[in-house]
Amino acid sequence: MIASSARIWGYDTNFGSFSQFCVAQEHQILPKADHLTWEQAAASTLVGTTAYRMLFGWRGNELRQGDIVLVWGGSGGVGSQAIQLARAKGALPVAVVSDPAKGAYCERIGAVGWINRKDYTHWGIPPRWDDVDGQRHWMAEARRFGKRLWEVVGEKRNPAIVIEHPGEDTVPTSIFVCEEGGMVVICAGTSGYDAVVDLRYHWTRQKRFQGSHGANDEQAVAYNDMIKSESIHPSLARVLRFEEIPRAHDEMGRGLAPAGNTAILVCAPEPGLGRR
Ligand SMILES: NC(=O)c1ccc[n+]([C@@H]2O[C@H](COP(=O)([O-])OP(=O)(O)OC[C@H]3O[C@@H](n4cnc5c(N)ncnc54)[C@H](OP(=O)(O)O)[C@@H]3O)[C@@H](O)[C@H]2O)c1
């Protein structure tokens, strides 16, 4: 994925994957798990392989059994896959969500607990380091968030890996709560791209801030094998028609999408094709 020629199909190339047929290279095709419908199989491969690379793809910071993992947007696409992958590895995923119903969903798929981000007020770019009052408020909120994390895991231990994608709103907190020598790994900047980091925590505690994009062939196959063996599930929440794509985007943008993944039917299933 680091080669300058590497591209994510449908994202870095050809403006989307909304087509009934396409030409693909052989290594881009993975066998569909027999127990899944086409919709289920389509739902999670992008977010799941991305989460797999984030958790297991960065030498020196690969997820280990017993590690704590903080997962932003735990009930979303990347989050629901990261929680299951972490649990399957014997790690302890803690979800961050914006309401209790999403928290309960995260627990059902393997999170040891959840934090409601709406209970805190320090999101976004923090005040400058020399703004004493602003820093006091920011630090009090970040510490309160960190304490809640300890309560959820039942001990004073910080996350070895933080699964990041909101970006601007959350990166300062991610770096703050990550354990010494741990890694904040990021695949998007949904809330904005100006991620401000207090470098004192970053360098003295030797934390890693790692960008991650897509997955390589080996990681995609490893992820698909876990789906095929039913160690993890695609978390398909709903199936919408092609005409309903604007609705799906609108609900996603306003935080109203149901927990898990949405699949879109590019065309109506052909009679006799069968669900599998
Ligand atoms: N680079 C890659 O290879 C790659 C691959 C896949 C996806 N992505 C990107 O990763 C991002 C997430 O994808 P997804 O499929 O997981 O999206 P999703 O299903 O919409 O989930 C995103 C979650 O983020 C949370 N969230 C929204 N605003 C937030 C904020 N301000 N602070 C904290 N959390 C917030 C929401 O949960 P709560 O409201 O409950 O907190 C939401 O469930 C997208 O930008 C996507 O394009 C990148």
pLDDT per position as a tens digit, 25-71: 898 889 999 999 999 998 999 999 999 999 999 999 999 999 999 99
Fold of 45-234: Rossmann fold (3.40.50)
As a whole number, the mean pLDDT across the chain is 94
Distances (CA, A) of 74 to 82, 110, 136, 242, 249: 8, 10, 28, 26, 19
Q: Residue whose CA is closest, atom 26 of ligand 1?
A: 73
User: 110 pLDDT exceeds 70?
Assistant: yes
Alpha helices in the chain (DSSP H): 38-43, 45-56, 77-88, 100-108, 132-153, 171-177, 199-204, 217-228, 245-253
User: 193 pLDDT exceeds 70?
Assistant: yes
pLDDT of residue 1: 87
Residue 202 C-alpha to ligand 1 middle, in angstroms?
Answer: 24
What pTM did the predictor assign?
0.96
Q: Tell me what the mean pLDDT of segment 116-138 comes to.
A: 97
Residue 76 C-alpha to ligand 1 middle, in angstroms?
Answer: 6
Residue of 70, 102, 177, 190 best suited for mutating to test ligand 1, as the one with most atoms within 8 Å of CB: 190
pLDDT of residue 15: 73
Least confident of 18-32, 161-175, 231-245: 18-32
pLDDT of residue 10: 80
Q: Which amino acid is at 53?
A: R
Residue of 52, 120, 145, 165 best suited for mutating to test ligand 1, as the one with most atoms within 8 Å of CB: 165
pLDDT per position as a tens digit, 241-275: 999 999 999 999 999 999 999 999 888 766 655 55
